[in-house]
């Protein structure tokens, strides 16, 4: 009896998970429906900011764009994915207050929808990188296939971190602001728009920063290189630790959540 | 068999003020810079509730505003966990507590049928099958293709009500929401609820409308300040409630 009950529960969760992924997909479809360009507005936005960075670097630092532009483009696109997932997760439970108090759903599903939606937007943005690679006549190597497991890890990471931040932000309302400040500092100290070798002897800043490794495991394959094994290991361990923390957080706070909202 | 079993359950609401909801303040308190912050005195919303509902129970929750009707419904739905005691339920729970249902203001009504339906746990096929009936029930006509933000409150009620009542649940919990909508819709809503009452194995509704209570419920629970004061046949419960408010603390 117990066994069947568990089976039923598991099936139920699976069904809910697919439902919320469909909802994430639906968010994207809606964006297409509302404007002709749909999510391509975001792509255009990404393209323009990368373009301007290219101009700035070329005129100020006199750097040849074919060397740094693909690197910067890939960095920005991956960073945007990490940034938007983290930032949106913080406010997700607070903004779904009425839903959480109206229908008994698992709060974590809200994060799944959000991360899935942002993944689709990321895949749109990757087109900018591919476009730049083509313009500068850079070839593609089979290493590019490595973005699949890389992206999978990043998304898993985003879901776990998102769950933790969403619960904590529901309890501590000033946390979303703090996280946003931390993210903007992270952007500056992470090798997103500058190469890691410029750190010289201070490599530790990059090595200790998980964002460096998260960006590396997608950026390197995009640019046709093999990401360093150490980056894989860091992201992998990071994901496992966050995963365990998120289980603890959601187990401890799931039933407190509605009292906080 | 569907059932809800509540044993000695209490719900307390912590009253959070701005400084308690702040991480910075929590940190300052921790390192003792500001001394102890204001003490949170929890509000008792439900006190030691014992309740056992099973197949065939149709219950009306009666009480003044703030008596604990909505809290009890949320407790049954598993949205709140009791601070002490246990709540166990067996059966698929359907709720109709508010008219929000996760809908998107920018999306057209028809799209919102899909969104809300999915959130309520329906599969895409089930939604596809149910959509014509939902649209028909709402009587929104062409307006179903307009964004939700253009809807009046009455139109929203119609849409949300017809989506939420399209799910087939074993335990149906309804908070008073049907007060809005024109007289014609109210009659239709009444018929729809009558159908839910017949389909659901356990049915609980919170309402101030005596005709709603008499029509749909067999048993009545009178709540006051988190206590069940009376439990019995619906007519007697209503009588008790009216008596209480006539003589009561007024």
Q: Which long-range contacts (CB under 8 A, 24 or more apart) does B209-213 make?
A: B209/B176, B209/B179, B210/B238, B212/B60, B212/B178, B213/B60, B213/B62, B213/B237, B213/B238
* Distance from the B31 Cα atom to the nearest Cα atom in chain A, whole angstroms: 17
pLDDT of residue A6: 46
pLDDT of residue A5: 42
CB of A71 closer than 8 Å to CB of A215: no
Task: Name the pairing type of β-strands B58-62 and B202-206.
Answer: parallel
Q: Choose among A15, A98, A172: nearest Cβ to B22.
A: A172
Helix, strand, coil percentages for chain B (3-state, nearest 5): 40, 25, 35
**C-alpha of A56 from chain center:** 26
CB of B224 closer than 8 Å to CB of B67: yes
β-pair partners for A181: none
pLDDT of residue A89: 96
Q: Which residue has the tokens 């929890």?
A: B42
Give the Cα separation of A66 and A58 in Å (integer): 10
- Using alpha carbons, list the distances in angstroms from residue B81 to A105, A127, B204: 14, 47, 18
What are the residue ranges in chain A where pLDDT is below 70? 1-13
List chain A residues with CB under 8 Å of B98: 98, 101-102
- Does residue B164 sit in helix, strand or coil? helix
**Which of B21, B119, B120, B160 is the mutation pick for testing A, counting most A CBs within 10 A?**
B119
Question: DSSP letter string over A14-53?
Answer: HHHHHHHHHHHHHHHHHHHHHSSSTTHHHHHHHHHHHHHH
- List of residues 6+ apart from B14 with CB closer than 8 A: A259, B40, B42
Q: Does A19 touch chain B (CB under 8 A)?
A: yes
- List of residues 6+ apart from A207 with CB closer than 8 A: none
Q: Does B171 touch chain A (CB under 8 A)?
A: no
DSSP annotation of B33: S
Instruction: State the 10-residue block means of pLDDT for chain B, 250 residues long.
Output: 88 77 77 60 86 88 88 91 89 84 87 90 87 88 89 86 84 76 75 81 87 86 89 89 74
* Distance from the B76 Cα atom to the nearest Cα atom in chain A, whole angstroms: 10
Closest Cα partner for A168 from A179, A180, A183? A179
List chain A residues with CB under 8 Å of B16: 260
Note whether B74 contacts A98, CB cutoff 8 Å: no
Length of chain A: 261
Question: DSSP letter string over A81-134?
Answer: HHHHHHHHHHHHHHHTHHHHHHS---THHHHHHHHHHHHHHHHHHHHHHHHHHH
pLDDT of residue A62: 81
Q: Which residue has the tokens 């994901």?
A: A239
Note whether A104 contacts B93, CB cutoff 8 Å: yes
pLDDT of residue A2: 42
Q: How many domains does chain A have?
A: 1
Give the Cα separation of B202 and B69 in Å (integer): 17
Q: The pTM is what?
A: 0.87
CB of B148 closer than 8 Å to CB of B106: yes
Domain of residue A65, residue span:
2-260
């Amino acid at each position: 009896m117990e066994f069947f009950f568990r089976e039923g529960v598991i099936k139920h969760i699976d069904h809910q998970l697919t439902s919320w992924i469909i909802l994430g997909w639906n968010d994207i479809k809606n964006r297409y429906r509302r404007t002709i360009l749909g999510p391509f507005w975001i792509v255009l936005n990404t393209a323009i900011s990368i373009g301007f960075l290219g101009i700035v670097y070329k005129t100020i630092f006199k750097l040849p764009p074919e060397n740094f532009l693909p690197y910067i483009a890939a960095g920005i696109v991956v960073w945007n994915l990490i940034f938007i997932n983290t930032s949106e997760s913080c406010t997700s439970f607070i903004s779904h207050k009425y839903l959480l108090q109206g229908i008994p759903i698992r709060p974590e599903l809200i994060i799944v929808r959000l991360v899935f939606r942002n993944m689709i937007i990321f895949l749109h943005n990757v087109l900018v990188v591919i476009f730049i690679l083509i313009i500068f006549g850079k070839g593609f190597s089979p290493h590019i296939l490595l973005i699949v497991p890389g992206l999978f890890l990043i998304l898993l990471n985003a879901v776990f971190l998102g769950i933790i931040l969403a619960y904590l932000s529901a309890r501590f309302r000033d946390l979303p602001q703090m996280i946003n400040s931390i993210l903007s500092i992270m952007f500056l100290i992470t090798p997103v728009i500058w190469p890691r070798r410029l750190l010289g002897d201070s490599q530790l800043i990059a090595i200790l920063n998980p964002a460096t490794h998260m960006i590396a495991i997608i950026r390197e394959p995009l640019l046709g290189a093999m990401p360093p094994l150490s980056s894989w290991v860091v992201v992998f361990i990071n994901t496992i630790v966050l995963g365990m923390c998120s289980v603890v957080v959601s187990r401890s706070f799931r039933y407190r959540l509605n009292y906080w909202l | 068999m569907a059932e809800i079993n509540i044993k000695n359950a209490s719900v307390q609401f912590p009253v959070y003020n701005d400084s308690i909801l702040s991480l910075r303040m929590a940190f300052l308190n921790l390192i003792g810079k500001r001394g102890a912050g204001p003490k949170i005195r929890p509000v008792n919303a439900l006190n030691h509730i014992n309740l056992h509902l099973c197949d065939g129970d149709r219950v009306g929750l009666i009480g003044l505003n703030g008596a604990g009707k909505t809290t009890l419904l949320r407790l049954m739905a598993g949205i709140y966990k009791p601070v002490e005691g246990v709540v166990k339920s067996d059966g698929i729970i359907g709720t109709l507590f508010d008219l929000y249902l996760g809908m998107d203001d920018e999306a057209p009504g028809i799209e919102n049928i899909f969104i809300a339906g999915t959130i309520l746990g329906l599969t895409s096929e089930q939604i596809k099958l149910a959509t014509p009936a939902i649209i028909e029930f709402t009587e929104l006509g062409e307006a179903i293709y307009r964004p939700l933000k253009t809807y009046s409150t009455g139109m929203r009620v119609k849409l949300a009500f017809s989506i939420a009542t399209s799910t087939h649940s074993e335990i149906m919990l309804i908070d008073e929401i049907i007060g809005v909508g024109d007289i014609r819709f109210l009659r239709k809503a009444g018929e729809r609820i009558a159908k839910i009452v017949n389909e659901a194995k356990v049915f609980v509704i919170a309402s101030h409308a005596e005709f709603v209570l008499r029509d749909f419920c067999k048993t009545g629970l009178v709540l006051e300040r988190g206590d069940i004061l009376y439990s019995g046949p619906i007519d007697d419960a209503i009588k008790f409630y009216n008596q209480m408010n006539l003589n009561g603390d007024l």
